[in-house]
A and B are shown apart, each in its own frame.
Chain A
Amino acid sequence: MENEIKLTKLAKCAGCGAKVGAGVLAQLLEGIKVHTDPNLLVGFDKSDDASVYKVSEELAIVQTVDFFPPIADDPYTFGQIAATNALSDVYAMGGEPKLALNLMCVPEKMPREAVHALLRGGYDKVYEAGAIITGGHSILDEEPKYGLAVTGFVHPERVLTNSGARPGDVLILTKPLGIGTLTTAAKAGLCSDETMAYAVQLMTTLNKNARDCMVKYRVHACTDVTGFGLLGHSVELAQGSGVAIEYEVSRFRFIEEAIGLAKEGLLPEGMYRNRAFAECRVDAGEAELWQQDLLYDPQTSGGLLMAVDPEDADALMAELEGCVPAAQRIGRALEYGGGAYIRLR
């Protein structure tokens, strides 16, 4: 019986909130020799969403892997969210997913129907993306985990990294924020069914449309907003690009119910990890505490954050409108003159 097992109860942390902190990760990788190759267009060095390898003048492959513990109780939903999230890294590089491999950890006691439903969720999203699952690997584990390794294609000259933003670029985001807070509150039974259904809808919305719109315009940098939160990923983008970013806090769309929950301290541990990592590079200005908290909130399967040429910003916004969950023009990139990389105003 699918409904008898509460998947999130089997997991210590939910979804992308389970990610090892950015600062910790850098320390863990320290001193490990990195080999390179002239055809490797994007590798370790820039903390990007996926690696990109040039096969020919016309073709580069994009590779990424993403998996996490349950963020939803329903296994089919969890499968969909994990797949949407894994596919997102390919979209963030401007690519199209082609092949995917399942990565699955399941407890022995998990009912066969539930495992089947989980996998079906993954397959459905991968097919929706126009890609195919060609196999995978499963192991027994007390805590369930699911995700995929995804391979995509991109033209080698149209790869979008998180380090190409230029001063003057307009920053656009495609999904509202607050997912981490909602899923934390849901664990305590403090998130309404209606809002949780909306959150699931957001987490299972592929970033395909956002990518398809974006590649028609002069987008200089892109990343997907996931475990490190909007500000964590923004710091990486700004620092990698050598620009500063100024955000207008009033332009962000937060999921309504997440605001009250953030004020009441129903914030995930990952939010505090993100804050600890990024805070010293962020000038929070007059932003209220709850606004800052939601800007650090880890997003599972969040939207794309794009830095677009200012001349193309209006046209891209118009095309995204109605095509993505929430097209928001949130700020702009500036010359970096020292100090904080991100300024909130």
Chain B
Amino acid sequence: MKTVDARGHSCPIPVVMVRKAVTAEKPEALEVLVDNQCSVENVTRYGKSQGYSVDVAAEGADFRLSLKK
């Protein structure tokens, strides 16, 4: 499964990275790594706006978001 690693980036960059991956490949499922709460919230909103369900899991100081159609 494709993983977008947006750690080290602050908003709006993580949404832009996920948007690029979704627009280009229209994946059924996608994993996103981010390292701040603002990006968790924004990527969640983006995922839902594109019809994905979004699960968030904390991984140490990072977060893994699982987007599924």
Contacts and interface: CB of A to CB of B under 8 A. Distances in A.
Contacts of B49: 263-265
Size category of the binding interface on chain A? 10 to 19
Contact of A267 (B10, B19, B42): B42
B16 A265 contact: no
Interface residues of B, number: 16
Contacts of B16: 188, 190
Contacts of A147: none
Nearest to A290: B45
A268 interface: yes
A337 B37 CA distance: 34
Contact of A289 (B12, B19, B38, B45): B45
B19 A264 contact: yes
Interface in A265-280: 265-269, 272
Interface of A: 12, 184-185, 187-188, 190, 262-269, 272, 289, 293
Contacts of B41: 265, 267, 272
Contacts of B10: 12, 269
Nearest to A272: B38
Given A188-B16, A269-B10, A269-B11, A264 B38 contact: no
Contacts of B15: 188, 264-266
Nearest to B50: A264
A269 B45 CA distance: 14
A269 B19 contact: no
Interface in B45-60: 45-46, 49
A184 B45 contact: no
A279 to B, nearest CB: 13
B12 A184 contact: yes
Minimum-distance CB pairs A-B, first 5: A265-B45, A265-B42, A265-B46, A188-B12, A269-B38
Interface in B19-52: 19, 37-38, 41-46, 49
22 contacts: A12-B10, A184-B11, A188-B12, A188-B13, A188-B16, A262-B45, A263-B45, A264-B45, A264-B49, A265-B15, A265-B41, A265-B42, A265-B44, A267-B11, A267-B38, A267-B42, A267-B45, A269-B10, A269-B38, A272-B37, A272-B41, A293-B45
